[in-house]
Structure 1
Amino acid sequence: MRPLPDSEPATPDVRSPTRYLLHLAARTPAALALGVLYGIGCMLAQALVPVAIGRAVDEGLVARDTAALWVWGGTVLGLGVLQAVTSILRDRCALTASLAANYRTVRSVTRHAAALGSSMSRRVSAGEALSVGAMDATRIGRALEILAHGAGALVAVCAVAAVMLSTSWQLGLIVLVGVPLMAWAVGAVIRPLYGRQESLREEQSALTSQAVDIVGGLRVLRGLGGEEVAAARYRARSQEVRRSAVRVARLESLLGAIQELLPGLLMVLVVWAGARLVVADRISVGQLVVFYAYAVFLTTPLRLLTVTANRFTRAHVAAGRVVRLLSLAPDPGPRPASGRGAPPVPPARGAESGGTGAVPPGAPGDLTDPETGLRVRAGLLTAVVCADPDAAPAIADRLGGYTSPAAHYAGTALGALPRDEVRRRILVGDHDAHLFSGTLRDTLAPAHMSRDGDAPLLAALRTASADDIAASLPAGLDEPFVQGGREFSGGQRQRLRLARALLADPEVLILVEPTNAVDAHTESRIATRLATARHGRTTAVFTTSPALLRVADHVVHIVAGRVHAQGTHTELLAEHDYRSLVLRGATAP
């Protein structure tokens, strides 16, 4: 089977939603063109079947001509075979175009999300990004898929209208006016039904989330005596969902009645008017059969045209969301590495287009932040105490090369270095780092570490004081857990994140509040083991924990966005502001 898409995607056109859709269509011209061609052939073959049946009735049955009956019967069979073959080929081409557009959109969104990096969470919510990469990409793909069906339906409607009006303008007018009116009536019910269905899905999703939250926090709710309150709120919300479901069911019932009643009324009208024309000898019996069949047939292409318009409307809205996301420019930072055969991707998180820059020397150097004056000395454990808690993640992002102004490593600006080189040497681990679903081993240990066995992983778990977590699981390191590690407590997840960062063993490790969710005894063990494990390696820890500050080789106090004081923890305790911040009323050692 041929892989999809056929080649690496070109840089998407994000000037407008329409241009983006045209860009995707231009990437699969053969599939779209052949799909439209096969779609027209399929619908025309289906539209000509009533004509062949009518001729068989007039020239074969009425005239009692066996040869003519065989000829027109064979024609019906041939049209059926043609319809089946073109239908298969149409759906194959349409699915090719749909999957290619869907995959290209997902790949563009995923790569751009990686390019935005840490700046993405400050500019677009995770839910919106996930919706764009999943739901909107699917809607765009489905629009290209329906194009072949819609083109065939449009040609079929035009062909049927020409046949009917040329045979009997009275019956043709009844059918051509009655079918659109019937489609309009159905559409008048579908539009509010769709809105209520969307609202019901949102309410059901919110109810499910509430149930998950209640179950997850049941122990806390019982401890606070809030179990009954939470249950009452859930009952009230579930009743709202039930009422919404009843409203949707009412519209669905009305839609079903309309879909049964209106076609029946149209059939009665066509048969009544056609019978009168047959009696008046103005049309033949076979032509009456043709009109009856077309009254039934036209509902299919008209419905396809309605679905096509609806899907393209949704696709245009979805493309607008995709374009807005892809139009977000990354913060300036490290330049992406280039090379022959590299795919044309947007600049990575904190990247700007341009050359690869200079690679820093092999020996580790100091990491400095020009904005604050902070210097993380090579080979030392540096603790950074920020008077403003919100300043710590921002400084860490700059030191990691994710945001501007760029920090300097070994005297070279990170913005002038290849992105891959920066990511290989410098790792920023914060308390929001994601834990992926899978086994404990898979989510903590990268694939390339498997050749070293479990020894590095076990050592990292011990340093992070997380070895008890693995020991408590029935399958140990092979125990699977859900995405995000929701079955673990906050402190357990924090220790697992720390173990994963330590296992990567980067040249420079930057940690943001790695122990603020654990108890004092565990924090003390982590501090001692961290200092031992990272001895001789450049490490920066943003923290106000006295346990971590005591083991640090160097402590920097940042106030109002600038380095205020630096030295050892014991030396800085002489300052009132530092002492009140890190000890919080405790007695100094």
Structure 2
Amino acid sequence: MLWLAGRIAWPLSAAAFCGVLWLGSQALMPVVIREAIDDGLVPGDMDAVLSWSAVLLGLGVVQAVSGTVRRRLNMYNSLSAGFRTVQLVVGHANTLGATLERRVDEGELVSVGTSDMNALGHAFDIVGRTVGAVISVVLVSVVLVRQSATLGMMLIVAVPAIVLTMGYTLRPLHRRQSAYRDLQGELTSRLTDVVAGLRVLRGIGGETPFARSYRERSQRVRAAGARVAGAEALIRAAQVLLPGLLVGTVTWIGARAALDGSVSPGELVAFYAYAAFLVEPLGIFTETADRFARAHVAARRVVTVLRMRPKAAPEHADGPMGTLATALVDETTGLTVTPGTFHVVVAPSAEGVRLADRLGGYDEAPVRHDGRLLTALAPDEVRRRILVVDNRPRLFRGPLRASLDPHVTADDTAITAALRAAAAEDIVGLLPDGLDTDITADGRHFSGGQRQRLVLARALLADPDVLIVVDPTSAVDAHTEDLIGRRLRAARSGRTTVLVSSSPLLLNQADRVSFLSGGRVAAAGTHRELLAASEDYRLVIQRETGEAPPGPLPSTDLVTRGSAE
């Protein structure tokens, strides 16, 4: 928050100055009214009444102009603080790269760009009024001390006491807001996840269980919001009650003083006017505490994201990677990827994703190339030579061509070849403007299988030395999967390709298959060799094809044909 204040120091200072003029002019109005009564109305001097009326009009003009400018500046400060927060978080998210979604929920980032930016912006919106309230209370205290030492001292003691009392009532609000923000971020994350997988939910009939789960979670958020509202209601009541008691006390003391003749009629009116005026700055103090409590919760969330550090580049890189003509060895599982092979890894989904991260250099776990750790090599070169495509296909808003070839390095021939290798040429053929068709954010109007194929085509266009793909055909039909397997093998001939999949149609195309069980390579060989030699491997493949466990081992051709059919 201090960093944000430094970025908007001048408009923030200008808003504070206008706030002083705005509330300061209001604080001086009772003084002018007192003089108009005592010097003009009581002795019957109309010239004095007109003079003080002109002064009062001038103060009203100052209040109106300064209030307008202050409101404009406050709005600028609010929007500037909010959008600077979003820019800061988005910029930092870009530096985290592919590790971001593994370290923070999508809903958390969505909340930063909605509720958190508003909470921070509202805190800076009230700064101008707060400074004006402080100065005006000091000004009123000085005036009252000069007129009545009792009232002045009472005000000096009462205002801090009220502020401290209100601050104490904000403590439970702060805790409840923090809990509410946690639940809100969790619910938003769940909602973004289901929107991304809505087609899958409908396909498996999961809408009703999800709706039930979402209803339960949203009720918890509602209950947390009700607790926040209860604390806020208490604070709002205190905002009215405590200043109201102060107004009543000041008015009662002033009236008693007027009865015994120690104050003039003008001073009595001024006392009441000051008491009524103090309601506003006291309300501003309470609102300031409330807004800054909310902003503090939001700022902690933002700082949590900003504290995440990208993988640091090694201080002394072990030279260039060369042509990747040597094997990649994952010491965690014992997997060895021979250069130039079409290698398929059979592993549980989560374990396969972690393996892909390690082979791509996104994890600190030891993976060696030519005897050197990937973590000791320059990250930029690792990213350029090894491409990981996870099982969450992403496309970008804009022309499809730009999404497939973001660096504008390929011609139409190369793009067409990549689309054919990914069995995606039919998708482009159905679009009204072909490759120049504008697509929505994340390609939402494509099915899951279509997005998978388009993302695979984009990866083939990048033509990395090592391509690692997680579940590339999990959302396509068997015929398309068979086409992808054969065409992908041909397109990547001579290049290292690692697929994480248990699809028999892809396994049948593999030069080598590694079977992971218990976090280690349990068996390796060709698909047919493993079917013949490993019962555990056979059971995994049978679960994939949906076949019942056989008695004697069927021939490999029968298993493959059954899968394709």
**Which TM bucket (shorter chain)?**
0.7 to 0.9
Per the alignment, residue 46 of structure 1 pairs with: 26
Q: Which moved more, 1:128-137 or 1:389-398?
A: 128-137
The answer to whether the aligner puts 1:294 opposite 2:294 as a matched pair is no
Per the alignment, residue 504 of structure 1 pairs with: 462
The answer to whether the aligner puts 1:149 opposite 2:129 as a matched pair is yes
Alignment match of 1:403 (pick from 357, 363, 386): 363
Separation in 1, partners of 2:192, 2:313: 44
Report the Cα offset of residue 110 of structure 1.
3.6
Separation in 1, partners of 2:120, 2:514: 51
The answer to whether the aligner puts 1:546 opposite 2:501 as a matched pair is no
Deviations 1:262-304 (A, max 9, x none): 9889878866765665465433333233233323322221121
Separation in 2, partners of 1:284, 1:169: 15
Report the Cα offset of residue 393 of structure 1.
1.5
- C-alpha change, 1:319 and 1:257, in structure 2 (3 Å) is closer
Per the alignment, residue 404 of structure 2 pairs with: 445
Separation in 2, partners of 1:80, 1:293: 15
Deviations 1:393-443 (A, max 9, x none): 22211111101234345665432333333222221101124445x356177
Alignment match of 1:161 (pick from 141, 148, 156): 141
Per the alignment, residue 562 of structure 2 pairs with: none
Deviations 1:234-264 (A, max 9, x none): 9999999999999999999999999899988
Q: How does 1:386-535 map onto structure 2 within 5 Å?
A: 386=347, 388-409=348-369, 412-436=372-396, 438-439=397-398, 441=400, 444-449=403-408, 456-472=414-430, 483-485=441-443, 488-535=446-493
- The residue identity in structure 2 corresponding to 1:286 is G
> Conserved in 2, the CA contact under 8 Å of 1:171 and 1:270?
yes
Report the Cα offset of residue 150 of structure 1.
1.9
The answer to whether the aligner puts 1:358 opposite 2:336 as a matched pair is no
Separation in 2, partners of 1:570, 1:527: 16
Per the alignment, residue 376 of structure 1 pairs with: 337
Per the alignment, residue 556 of structure 2 pairs with: 588
> Conserved in 2, the CA contact under 8 Å of 1:509 and 1:538?
yes
- C-alpha change, 1:199 and 1:27, in structure 2 (3 Å) is closer
Q: Secondary structure at the match of 2:407?
A: helix
RMSD: 5.1
Q: Secondary structure at the match of 2:344?
A: strand
Runs (5+) with no aligned partner, structure 1: 1-20, 330-347
- The residue identity in structure 1 corresponding to 2:335 is L
Report the Cα offset of residue 485 of structure 1.
4.8
> Conserved in 2, the CA contact under 8 Å of 1:106 and 1:134?
no
Separation in 2, partners of 1:383, 1:491: 20
Separation in 1, partners of 2:221, 2:295: 28
Separation in 2, partners of 1:211, 1:401: 28
Report the Cα offset of residue 580 of structure 1.
0.6
Separation in 1, partners of 2:291, 2:490: 60
Report the Cα offset of residue 62 of structure 1.
3.7
Separation in 2, partners of 1:257, 1:311: 17
> Conserved in 1, the CA contact under 8 Å of 2:345 and 2:516?
yes
Q: Secondary structure at the match of 2:469?
A: strand
Separation in 2, partners of 1:518, 1:443: 24
Separation in 2, partners of 1:241, 1:211: 16
Q: Secondary structure at the match of 1:555?
A: strand
- C-alpha change, 1:56 and 1:482, in structure 2 (3 Å) is farther
> Conserved in 1, the CA contact under 8 Å of 2:361 and 2:375?
yes
Separation in 1, partners of 2:203, 2:371: 57
Separation in 2, partners of 1:389, 1:222: 20
- C-alpha change, 1:75 and 1:424, in structure 2 (3 Å) is farther
- The residue identity in structure 1 corresponding to 2:24 is L
Report the Cα offset of residue 532 of structure 1.
2.7
Q: Which moved more, 1:417-426 or 1:451-460?
A: 451-460
TM-score, normalised relative to structure 2: 0.75
- C-alpha change, 1:512 and 1:245, in structure 2 (3 Å) is closer
Report the Cα offset of residue 561 of structure 1.
4.3
Report the Cα offset of residue 523 of structure 1.
0.7
- The residue identity in structure 2 corresponding to 1:360 is M
Report the Cα offset of residue 119 of structure 1.
4.7
Deviations 1:349-407 (A, max 9, x none): x334635653333x453451241443434443222233x54332222111111012343
- C-alpha change, 1:89 and 1:457, in structure 2 (3 Å) is farther
Q: Which moved more, 1:499-508 or 1:91-100?
A: 91-100
Q: How does 1:191-340 map onto structure 2 within 5 Å?
A: 274=254, 277-278=257-258, 280-329=260-309
Report the Cα offset of residue 510 of structure 1.
0.8
- C-alpha change, 1:202 and 1:299, in structure 2 (3 Å) is farther
- The residue identity in structure 2 corresponding to 1:147 is V
Runs (5+) with no aligned partner, structure 2: 543-548, 558-565
Separation in 1, partners of 2:434, 2:465: 29
- C-alpha change, 1:226 and 1:491, in structure 2 (3 Å) is closer
Q: Secondary structure at the match of 1:522?
A: helix
- The residue identity in structure 1 corresponding to 2:478 is A
Separation in 1, partners of 2:84, 2:233: 39
Deviations 1:304-345 (A, max 9, x none): 11122122222333333334344445xxxxxxxxxxxxxxxx
- The residue identity in structure 2 corresponding to 1:441 is L
Q: Secondary structure at the match of 1:283?
A: coil
> Conserved in 2, the CA contact under 8 Å of 1:400 and 1:426?
yes
Report the Cα offset of residue 156 of structure 1.
1.6
Per the alignment, residue 135 of structure 1 pairs with: 115
Q: Which moved more, 1:525-534 or 1:97-106?
A: 97-106
The sequence identity of aligned pairs, in percent, is 43
> Conserved in 2, the CA contact under 8 Å of 1:43 and 1:83?
yes
Separation in 1, partners of 2:18, 2:239: 29
Separation in 2, partners of 1:370, 1:224: 39
- C-alpha change, 1:550 and 1:257, in structure 2 (3 Å) is closer
> Conserved in 2, the CA contact under 8 Å of 1:270 and 1:292?
yes
- C-alpha change, 1:395 and 1:264, in structure 2 (3 Å) is closer
Q: Secondary structure at the match of 1:390?
A: helix
- C-alpha change, 1:221 and 1:411, in structure 2 (3 Å) is closer
- The residue identity in structure 1 corresponding to 2:464 is P
Per the alignment, residue 545 of structure 2 pairs with: none
Report the Cα offset of residue 527 of structure 1.
0.9
Separation in 1, partners of 2:186, 2:500: 38
- C-alpha change, 1:192 and 1:385, in structure 2 (3 Å) is closer
Q: How does 1:80-95 map onto structure 2 within 5 Å?
A: 80-83=60-63, 86-87=66-67
- The residue identity in structure 2 corresponding to 1:316 is H
Separation in 2, partners of 1:211, 1:97: 30
